[in-house]
Amino acid sequence: MNPILYLRWLFVGLFLTASQPGRAPIRLQPQSIPFTPNEFYLATVTDQRVERGAIARLALTPGQAPQPVDIEGGVATGIRQFVNQSLKQNKSLRPIAMRITQLRLTETAVGNRVTGQFVFAAVFDLLGKSDDGSETSTRLTEYRGSANYTRPLSQTTIIEPTIRQAVVASLRSLNDYMNRESGQNEKLAKRLRVVFLDDSRITNDDTVQYNPERPLTWADFRAEPRRGSHYAAEVFTSFAYEGRSTVKDGVITIQLTTKAYMLKNSSWGRADAKTPYALNHEQRHFDITRLITERFKQKIHPDSLTLEDYNSIIQYQFLESFREMNRMQEQYDAETNHSVNQLAQERWNQKIDAELRKFGVKK
């Protein structure tokens, strides 16, 4: 959940200098902001208030209703000019968009005393670009502030500082968020690294994890032969991955654990067909599954991923590899005629072994 900072100021008192702006717009006065951002610069300011129009209803004249008064140049322009004049900006840092979602000042006069209620809210987004060059926006954090004050009817100097201090407080909140989150938040990460692990455990349960030191045996084929099938044997193999990610110092480390596996209780062989030759044919189905797993791993590297959408890209490549596995298994059976064609079987044996050696799976 994005942190939301709530601040409340209370201004009560008299001011020595009288000001009567009438309908003149409010101009935010530049000031020295007491911090320099090291993680961002404010690239844009937009007005996304639901209630458009003048930001203030000010009590200016005795006996008259509060008058509408706006920021000079409008909300977006006025605040952007104030930020550009007041905040030191380094445009080599991350670009941030500020969306003003609420900015309203309402006054009520009772005699010569005026009470004011002020609310301000802004959302900050990280700007970026997708692979096709289109602009992207990622919501980071939100700020909300409010202020109550009283003033004499004839003195309005409190109004401009009230708005200005809210803008400064929102920038301070953003700066604190960026300093705190820049090294540990995925949204603010600067690069990716990928680490692969292979699940090659040797266990005694229903699942056989692929391990070159643990080839299949006929004892692994526990299911009853399928009725009506003219095949000598059938092996059930597949592959999967599990992923987790961590962030440190602005780097996302994606750890993917891949596993090629065979299910004993879904694989079978006819008693009269359990020969070493037939077992080799089924083992090669398992080898193909591991081979596809290695090809899948080759597709997943930092240059093939994006910071914003790496999970979807990995899932897409997994599905593509799964389809590739099915096609290769079908091609293998078709060309070997389910092991009947011994010359084709030997060609596949050599082809599979060569590629597994290339990936370092076999010596």
Nearest to 215 by CA among 286, 148, 288: 286
Q: Are both 171 and 216 inside the same structural domain?
A: no
| CATH code for the domain in which residue 36 is found | 3.40.50
Q: Are both 124 and 49 inside the same structural domain?
A: yes
Q: Are both 31 and 76 inside the same structural domain?
A: yes
pTM: 0.78
Domain total for the chain? 2
151, 182, 213 - which closes a domain? 182
Letter for the amino acid at 306? T
- What local confidence, expressed as pLDDT, does residue 64 receive? 86
d(C-alpha 124, C-alpha 98), whole Å: 5
- What local confidence, expressed as pLDDT, does residue 2 receive? 45
For residue 177, pLDDT over 90 is answered with: yes
Taking residues 219-247, what's their average pLDDT? 94
The overall average pLDDT reported for the chain is: 92
Strands (E), the chain: 4-12, 40-47, 56-58, 67-69, 94-110, 113-129, 135-152, 191-198, 207-209, 233-234, 237-248, 251-263, 268-269
For residue 9, pLDDT over 50 is answered with: no
**Length, in residues, of the chain:** 363
Taking residues 285-293, what's their average pLDDT? 98
d(C-alpha 192, C-alpha 171), whole Å: 29
- What local confidence, expressed as pLDDT, does residue 13 receive? 33
For residue 20, pLDDT over 60 is answered with: no
For residue 12, pLDDT over 70 is answered with: no
- What local confidence, expressed as pLDDT, does residue 271 receive? 93
For residue 361, pLDDT over 50 is answered with: yes
Q: Are both 176 and 196 inside the same structural domain?
A: no
- What local confidence, expressed as pLDDT, does residue 4 receive? 42
Taking residues 22-30, what's their average pLDDT? 85
Tens digit of each residue's pLDDT (9 = 90 or more) over 135-149: 899 999 999 999 999
> CA Rg, the chain, in Å?
34
Q: Are both 13 and 126 inside the same structural domain?
A: yes
- Name the residue range of residue 176's domain: 4-182
182, 211, 241 - which closes a domain? 182
Q: Confirm whether 220 is domain-assigned.
A: yes
* Contact in structure between 255 and 314 (CB atoms under 8 Å): no
Q: Are both 343 and 199 inside the same structural domain?
A: yes
Sorting pLDDT into bands at 50, 70 and 90, what band is 286?
very high
182, 214, 248 - which closes a domain? 182
- What local confidence, expressed as pLDDT, does residue 23 receive? 62
Q: Confirm whether 363 is domain-assigned.
A: no
* Contact in structure between 68 and 59 (CB atoms under 8 Å): no
- What local confidence, expressed as pLDDT, does residue 131 receive? 73
Q: Are both 89 and 174 inside the same structural domain?
A: yes
Q: Are both 51 and 157 inside the same structural domain?
A: yes
Q: Are both 155 and 259 inside the same structural domain?
A: no
